[in-house]
Structure 1
Amino acid sequence: MVKAVVLGAAGGIGQPLSLLLKACPLVDELSLFDVVNTPGVTADLSHISSIAKITGYLPADDGMKKTLTGADVVVIPAGIPRKPGMTRDDLFKINAGIVRDLVQGIAENCPKAFILVISNPVNSTVPIAAEVMKKAGKFDPKRLFGVTTLDVVRAETFVQDITGEKDPSKTVIPVIGGHSGETIVPLFSLAKPKVNIPADKLAPLIKRVQFGGDEVVEAKGGAGSATLSMAYAGFRFAEKIMKAMKGEKGIVEPTYVYLPGVTGGDAIAKETGVDYFSVPVELGPSGAEKANNILSELDDNEKKLLEACTKGLKDNIEKGVDFVHNPPPK
């Protein structure tokens, strides 16, 4: 039996993500939570003829506790979306408080659940989640993940224009670092099967992966952000976690984790100078079973990208940790 939970289920990412989880045969029970509109989303999805039994709650009457009790996988897309001209960092003040409070609920009601953080800025919200769990004495680094799969999906998709591969997901491209702008480092040199990218197309391709979110915000005329593609990416990662939970072998996916708490992570932390970083991680029944160190395989251009990445990441991580220990006045 797998109980999946979506916190922020009525939002732009939460609704399509909940739809994908409701339709997923791996999910036996789906529970939704949001501060508004959850009953409507739940009623709508309850008409779908799939395995998952569905419930939905608002904060009243212990709604969060009812949602989270017995959860195996908790996906957190809650928060406000980016607006035009807004960086992921601008979102910080609002989304940081939302994530902190939701993770507190996880610590109290389902501390052993796998926690998948989508809420931006991921570079900071994952350290916030870790600090909240640490304070509660419930932190298991193997069970906390920042979802960076959208960067992987974009890399696979955008390189298709060059490779002509009919199914973009057949090209495996590791993306390391963080989940905003220059902290995103797509490793096209390590693509499998190998891809030949003309020299004049490489820089624009990397930039497009790094700033793909801006493309969507502009195309939506400022009326939204990358909600549908993020929901797909969030579901893709959640599905991998559920398959690994059930014992499927050989599942490796880039994800943003607390390196010192994952086997193989210490060496990567030492090399990068940061404790949180996205690398290909082997997933298993206990969660993040091994962080794969591929840093020695980077080409010269990727090494330069990595330098810019770690600089930005350090600030983002410190900001998240500091938010929990020195919360801003309300």
Structure 2
Amino acid sequence: MVKVAVLGAAGGIGQPLSLLCKMSPLIDELALYDVVPALTGVAVDLSHIATKAQLNSHLPTDDGLKKALTGSDFVIIPAGVPRKPGMTRDDLFKINAGIVETLATGIAQFCPKAFILVISNPVNSTVPIVAEIMKKHGVFDPRRLFGVTTLDVIRASTFTSQLHECTNPTQYTVPVVGGHSGLTIIPLFSQAEPAVKLSHEAIKKLTIRIQFGGDEVVEAKGGSGSATLSMAYAGFKYVYSGSFLRQANLLHAVHGEKGIIESSYVHLSGIPGGENVSKLVGIDYFSVPIELGPDGAHKAHPLGELSDYELNLLEKARPELKGNVAKGVEFISQKSSKL
């Protein structure tokens, strides 16, 4: 029996993500949670779909969060407010940090061994918040906490294929490391498979487009939304990529399938291979290709040999990423000091 909880299921990301999860043949129970009454309608709508996953929904009343989380094997967190025009991921922190803190506390209490996938922005800060909450409760396992940066990898593959006039983006694999906002997103075109045939100027332009792809969506929607559909796809792809996606991910790895690698923003210490990456980049949290296994993050892959341009991107990303991590850690430490 596999139970998946989606926290923030009535939102712009939560609804399509819940739909995709309802379609998975590997999910037996799907628990939806949100604070808005609209969740009831979303749940009824999804319940009409004839698939294996049994669905239930919970609002905050009557211990809703506890009921949604109890027995969950996977918890996906898309909860929070979306970005609006001119709003950075850092701006989102002021609102979303408190939401993530509440949800992480519930996870620590009711399903401490669940695999946690954080989508709520800014991921660079919200993942450390979840980690600090789990530490406070003595249940932190870095192998089971993932910041979902899959959308950056998807954008890199899609945009690269477009420049090469390739109709199948999955033919290109471009590693993306660092964080999940702006300059902290570092595409490694030097390690792309197959090798990309682009000028230095084209790579620079493509890098910027990948780094600020979210802004492209926000502007295109005229302020009425952010990257919800592509992010829902990315979150689902991380948990489960079935035959129609021709890939296997975390759910498959937990069930024993080997050789599954997915880029993830993780706490490097405590993950085999992570210490070496941490020493190189000088940061505890970083997105790298992660080999997945039954216990979650089985191994953090090294960055490999970077080009001079990529090394420069890393230098520019490091101070911002350090600040993002510190913001998340301090958010929890300051609250603890007031108790």
What is the CA–CA distance in structure 1 between the aligned matches of 2:165 and 2:51, rounded to whole Å? 35
Cα distance between partner residues in 2 of 1:157 and 1:150: 10
| TM-score normalised by length of structure 1 | 0.98
1:116 is aligned to: 117
Question: Deviation string for 1:256-306 (max 9, x for gaps)?
Answer: 000011000001111111000000000001000100012x41111000001
Corresponding position of 2:232: 231
2:264 paired residue among 255, 261, 271: 255
Distance of 2:2 and 2:168 partners within structure 1 = 30
Deviations 1:8-40 (A, max 9, x none): 000000000000000111111100000012211
Distance in 2 (CA, whole Å) between partners of 1:133 and 1:106 is: 8
Which deviations, in whole Å up to 9, do the C-alpha atoms of 1:291-322 show, x marking residues without a partner? 0012x411110000011111110000000000
Letter in 1 for 2:32: L
Aligned runs of 1:68-79 on 2, under 5 Å?
68-79=69-80
1:61 aligned partner = 62
2:90 aligned counterpart, secondary structure: coil
- Equivalent positions of 1:4-19 (< 5 A) are 4-19=4-19
- Partners of 1:318 and 1:244 in 2: CA distance: 31
CA distance in 2, matches of 1:51, 1:164: 39
TM-score (norm 2): 0.95
Query: 1:4 & 1:194 partners in 2: Cα distance?
Result: 37
Which residue, out of 323, 326, 332, partners 1:318?
326
**Offset of residue 164 of structure 1:** 2.2
1:23 is matched with which residue? Answer: 23
Q: What is the aligned partner in structure 2 of residue 40 from structure 1?
A: 41
**Whole-angstrom distance in 1 between the partners of 2:258 and 2:290:** 13
Specify the code of the residue in structure 2 equivalent to 1:24: S
Q: Following the alignment from structure 1 to structure 2, what is the Cα–Cα distance between the partners of residues 176 and 56?
A: 35
Instruction: Count how many residue pairs are aligned between Structure 1 and Structure 2.
Output: 329
Instruction: Classify the secondary structure of the residue corresponding to 1:145.
Output: strand
**Separation in structure 2 between the aligned mates of residue 6 and residue 173 of structure 1, nearest angstrom:** 28
Output the CA distance in 2 between the equivalents of 1:169 and 1:135.
41
The residue aligned with 1:268 is 277
The amino acid that maps onto 2:130 is A
Match of 1:286 in 2: 295
Deviations for 1:129-161, whole angstroms, at most 9, x for unmatched residues?
000000000100000000000000000000112
Specify the SS of the correspondent of 2:89.
coil
Task: Determine the C-alpha separation between the residues in 2 that align with 1:309 and 1:232.
Answer: 26
Match of 1:297 among 293, 299, 305: 305
* Aligned amino acid, residue 31 of structure 1: A
Question: 4+ residue runs of structure 1 moved beyond 4 angstroms?
Answer: none
Amino acid at match of 1:28: D
Displacement of 1:173 after TM fit? 1.0
Q: Deviations along 1:177-211, whole A, 9 cap, x unmatched?
A: 00000000011110111111123311110000000
Specify the SS of the correspondent of 1:308: helix
Give the alignment's Cα RMSD to 1 decimal.
Answer: 1.2
- 1:188-242 residue CA offsets vs partner (Å, 9 max, x unmatched): 1101111111233111100000000000000000110000000000100111111
* In structure 1, C-alpha distance between the alignment counterparts of 2:178 and 2:320, rounded to whole Å: 10
Letter in 1 for 2:333: H
Match for residue 246 of structure 2? none
Shift of 1:165: 2.4
Alignment map for 1:196-207 (pairs within 5 Å): 196-207=197-208
Kindly indicate whether residue 252 of structure 2 is the aligned counterpart of residue 243 of structure 1: yes
Distance 1:233 1:90 in 2: 23
Q: Tell me, what secondary structure is at the counterpart of 1:253? A: strand
Structure 1 counterpart SS, 2:120: coil
Q: Does 1:327 align with 2:335?
A: yes
